[in-house]
Amino acid sequence: MTLPAHIAAGKPAEFGQELLQRRARICRGRVSFSGQRVLDYGCGNGAQTLLFGCDAATLMGVDISTASIEEFRTHIPPALTGTVLPVLFDGTVIPAPDASFDIVTCFEVLEHVGNEQQTLREITRVLKPHGAFLLTVPNKGWIFETHGAALPVLPWNRVPFFSWLPHAIHRKFALARIYRRRDVADLLRAAGFRVEHIGYVTAPLDVLTIPWLQRLLRRSLFRNDVTSWSILATAIFVHCSAPGTP
């Protein structure tokens, strides 16, 4: 898969991060995974995917990274052997028949793909009628650019205020796309999805390396999984229904 200029491949979240638990709680608050066939699109190392393993009847994770899929396989507990299936794919065609899954998840992946519309069409293909699509994308309102940017004098990640620049400037240098709520909602509706819920995911502060400050902030401003304040959110969460759902 060829990525657009400046768009970099994603980096999987690490096992044990608060971000993973936060996403899982939000998703379980929207749909039941019990007995469902689930696909995690862009599963990475499986750190997020495996949190749904005990609920789902079957759970497939697909990713373009050989290293990530191999790492995923090493973390599958014996009790989930045969239930969880990590699969390497080409980033375009999901190796599954039409209408195979009750739920598709996609966490911080859409901003990295070569073609958003093509990716959403393929997810639509494998999602059952009345199925649920749960995704997160980076939030333009967060104060830091979480994916970094190809800037000549600011080569580090977490660039402050860069995410607030107009889309035309951001697209020129950013290593990943970024979205406002209306951007992702319009994109999903154009692909035929019905948006059931859209909201902000509160910053988990996993990258904050000062333990006492991290604890303090998680107990105060960043206590809840969701927030109504864009400036407190690293991501946008969307719950969609499959195209054609009445």
Average pLDDT, integer, range 197-222: 95
Q: CA dihedral defined by 61, 62, 65, 70, rounded to 10 degrees?
A: 40
Q: Dump the DSSP string for 156-221.
A: SSSEETGGGS-HHHHHHHBSS--B-HHHHHHHHHHTT-EEEEEEEEEP--TT---HHHHHHHHTTT
The residues, any chain, with a CB within 8 Å of residue 90's CB and separated by 6 or more, are 1, 64
Q: Which pLDDT band holds residue 1 (cuts at 50, 70, 90)?
A: very low
Distance CA 114, CA 12 (A): 18
Distance CA 175, CA 42 (A): 17
HEC string for 104-117: EEEECCHHHCCCHH
Average pLDDT, integer, range 47-59: 94
Among the listed residues 180, 164, 234, 161, the one whose alpha carbon sits nearest the alpha carbon of residue 202:
234
Q: Distance from CA of residue 202 to its chain's centroid? A: 14
pTM: 0.92
| Residue at 119: amino acid letter | T
Report which of residues 4 and 72 the model is more confident about: 72
Distance CA 99, CA 89 (A): 18
Q: pLDDT tens-digit profile of 151-187? A: 665 555 567 788 888 888 888 878 889 999 999 999 9
Instruction: Give all strands of the β-sheet with 194-202 in edge-to-edge order.
Output: 84-88, 58-63, 37-41, 101-107, 127-138, 233-241, 194-202, 226-227
Query: Fold for domain 18-142+177-241?
Result: Rossmann fold (3.40.50)
